[in-house]
Amino acid sequence: MTARCVPPAERAAIEELNARFAWALDLGEFDNLRQVFTSEARYVSGERIYAGVDAIVSRFTARTGPRTTRHGWSSLTLQATGDKIYGLSSWYTFAANQDAPISGTGVYLVADFVDIYVSIADVGWRIAERTIHPVFKDERLAPT
């Protein structure tokens, strides 16, 4: 199958999708992840694999205690093949297990994200698979 360039409108839609993912986590609005992932999505983080959007949402709602995060990403590359777009990006997470405002918070994680995006009729772009490959990690800032 031949790869094609990703048109600017599709790239913008995927960047918006990634922003909605980050804000859902950062604001603790985990149900909003249902508008980010497909219903059968796979989310792989280290050794943990979550299958289906319900499992993905439950992964985040199961956390206890205060948690403040801010996620960001850069270096998004996209390649389209058939009806899918494959993405690679570098993400970082500032985190603390306390409520904001926080003084002196460090970077919890820098990771490479490998994604598969699909377009769903009358819905738009969604993440069908997201695999997180940690590069740098400070376990002291891990969620409780």
Instruction: Report how far residue 118's alpha carbon sits from residue 128's, in angstroms, rounded to the nearest whole number.
Output: 6
Strand partners, 92: 72, 110
Instruction: Report how far residue 85's alpha carbon sits from residue 116's, in angstroms, rounded to the nearest whole number.
Output: 6
Instruction: Report how far residue 137's alpha carbon sits from residue 139's, in angstroms, rounded to the nearest whole number.
Output: 6
Domains of the chain: 3-141 (3.10.450.50)
Per-block average pLDDT, block size 10, for the chain (144 residues)? 86 98 97 98 95 97 93 97 95 96 92 98 96 96 89
This model's pTM is above 0.75: yes
Instruction: Report how far residue 57's alpha carbon sits from residue 108's, in angstroms, rounded to the nearest whole number.
Output: 21
Q: Do the Cβ atoms of 139 and 36 come closer than 8 Å?
A: no
What six digits make up the tokens of 111?
Answer: 């990771």
Instruction: Report how far residue 51's alpha carbon sits from residue 49's, in angstroms, rounded to the nearest whole number.
Output: 7
The pLDDT, as a whole number, for residue 35 is 97
The pLDDT, as a whole number, for residue 1 is 62
Which whole-number Å values give the CA distances from 26 to 65, 69, 75, 121, in the listed order? 14, 5, 20, 28
Neighbour-count burial of 41, counting CB atoms closer than 10 A to its CB (0-12 exposed, 13-18 middle, 19+ buried):
buried
